[in-house]
A and B are shown apart, each in its own frame.
Chain A
Amino acid sequence: MSDILAAAGLTKAFGGLPVTRNVSLAVRAGEIHALIGPNGAGKSSLIGQLAGTLTPDAGRVTLDGAEVTHLPPHLRARRGLARTFQVSALIGGLSALENVALAVQARAPRPLAPFRRAAGDAALEQPALAALAAVGLAERAAAPAEVLAHGERRALEIACALALQPRCVLLDEPLAGMGHAEGRAIVGLLGGLKGRFAMLLVEHDMEAVFALADRVSVLVEGRLIATGPPEAVRADPAVRAAYLGEAG
């Protein structure tokens, strides 16, 4: 299988604090690749380097075989790399539908048309509604983003990513802060999207990880200590010692 997104030898330090140490990792077409690790292991920092919001000190990032290490985030997005944020990033003042319409707009012809009214533009809102329906938010289309419940906000972020028709999506803890039932709904949602695009899934919820992931990578103190199928990783003694063991 071909790699959509690959990191080779990524290294990054904040001041004296190393957060990414020689990490090499690949996301294959269509797979869900889970990235797990304790708090502060450097998962979000790694996502940042893949998405382009952080520049690595060393190493390379390739997207569909082309080097993108020094490409800014918006150009990586245009090449098919979408993401969700650990802390929900939605545009307040816009409705759920309009938030997704903004994502549709990014892919539409003339995305910055200066005199073309955005509100009520069917060319944007129809695909947006389809993406909302795909995450089960169709009835909430008109609700302002800021009044949505936490779980709805996370689903809305996924709808925005969907609307970009990505090749690969980086999901930074999509279940964070959710109740169990809400969390299962998102797991069901992500499972249903499997195969439409590749996903790198950062998640603390092991139930979700083992339900969804084709492969699991384990990051501890900025270093990748294991990569492989879920069962193999679960059985890995180093992983048990460093991570799973401590969680019981």
Chain B
Amino acid sequence: MTRLAAALAAALLLAAPLAAWAAGNAYLLALGTRAAVFALAAVSLQFVVGFAGLVSLGHAAFLGIGAYALLMLGGAGLDETLVSLPVAVLAGALFAWPTGWVALRTRGVTFLMITLAFGQMAYFVAEALADYGGDDGMPLDRAPPLAGTALLAQPVAFHLFVLLLLAAAIAAARLLGASRFGRVLRAARQDAGRVAALGFDVTRVRLIAYVAAGAAGALAGWLLAVTTGFVSPALLDWRVAGQLLVMVILGGVAAPEGAAAGAVGLVLAEEALSAASEHGRIALGALLLGAALLRLRLRAPAR
């Protein structure tokens, strides 16, 4: 089921440039790129929710940090991808470290609330950045150069760039999940007391996972800024974090490629339904409910 959905999502993303060309509609490509970027964001969140079992409602902060890192570096003439992208990733990790350290003192709903609180803090900081458009935000001057070339200004090239990073993120998440580290992380999701009794520092393991997810989330934010050419506090809205959670849950939580498929599905469904009618949002709600129920039914006999 997850595999089928992931294969379908991969096919859609790969076909986006072709579809745009055949239909003579560049918007189809932009939509595909957006879906791929959200897929990467969902993969990063899945690492925390699915593997670590920590439901975070603050993941939009990392998107925002990655996006604002690019905006700010661009203002200083440092938007070169080979500089701004690693810096964005590092900024995500640097935000994740202390906030994760605090949030991981708690569990369950409290963890959700604390991550939400940190997310809101980041949101208000972004809103207060008067030099960067305050609550209106600001457009990027240009697509960031890649090794001095304007390659990423080319929509198809940028789309493939995003797909490459998405594939790398999924591969890395799968590798990490199956590793010694991942086994400890996932075992602690089931019984942290047991894992600690074996001699593992559960909080530290979770913090490493949280920081990795934050770094990857900031990568997605950098890409999202390039995709839309615009950076604003709306990226850090808690509703974006909620949407990311829905994508992960829709995709089945357990696997990174599932989260990616969930993201692609949600972005496309949202687009199709809101284009179709004013009642699109209601239909989307019904669709999500249906998908959640379906997941429950699919999962029930397995345990």
Contact = CB atoms under 8 A, between A and B. Distances in A.
A94 B180 contact: no
Contacts, number: 92
Contact of B205 (A83, A89, A112, A113): A112
Interface string B198-210: 1111100100100
B180 A106 contact: no
A82 B187 contact: no
A114 interface: yes
Contact of A105 (B183, B191, B197): B183
B178 interface: yes
Contacts of B201: 72, 74
A102 interface: yes
B200 A74 contact: yes
A111 interface: yes
A92 B53 CA distance: 14
Interface in B58-82: none
B198 to A, nearest CB: 4
Interface string B160-202: 0000000000000001101111111011001101111111111
Given A53-B193, A94-B187, A102-B184, A115 B175 contact: yes
Contacts of A92: 190
Contact of B199 (A74, A94, A115, A121): A74
A89 B196 CA distance: 12
B53 to A, nearest CB: 12
A111 B196 contact: no
A102 B198 contact: yes
B187 A102 contact: yes
The winner among B179, B199, B202 for most chain A CB atoms within 10 A is B199
Which among A78, A91, A94 has the greatest number of chain B C-beta atoms within 10 A? A91
B198 A91 contact: no
A96 interface: no
A158 B110 CA distance: 34
Interface residues of B, number: 25
B179 A91 contact: no
A91 B191 contact: yes
Report whether over half of chain B's contact residues are helix, strand or loop; otherwise say mixed: helix
Given A51-B197, A89-B194, A102-B184, A115 B202 contact: no
A119 B184 contact: no
A9 interface: no
Nearest to A117: B178
B197 A110 contact: no
Nearest to A91: B187
A118 B197 contact: no
A9 to B, nearest CB: 25
Contacts of A107: 199
Taking each of B178, B193, B197, which has the highest tally of chain A beta carbons within 10 Å of its own beta carbon? B197
Interface of A: 51, 53, 72-75, 77-78, 82-83, 85, 89-94, 98, 102-103, 105-107, 110-119, 121, 160, 164
25 contacts: A51-B197, A53-B196, A72-B201, A73-B196, A74-B202, A77-B196, A77-B197, A78-B199, A85-B193, A91-B191, A91-B195, A94-B187, A102-B198, A103-B198, A106-B199, A106-B200, A110-B180, A112-B184, A112-B200, A113-B179, A116-B179, A117-B179, A118-B180, A119-B178, A160-B198
Given A93-B186, A105-B183, 10 more contacts: A73-B197, A85-B193, A93-B190, A94-B187, A102-B198, A114-B179, A117-B175, A119-B178, A121-B180, A164-B198
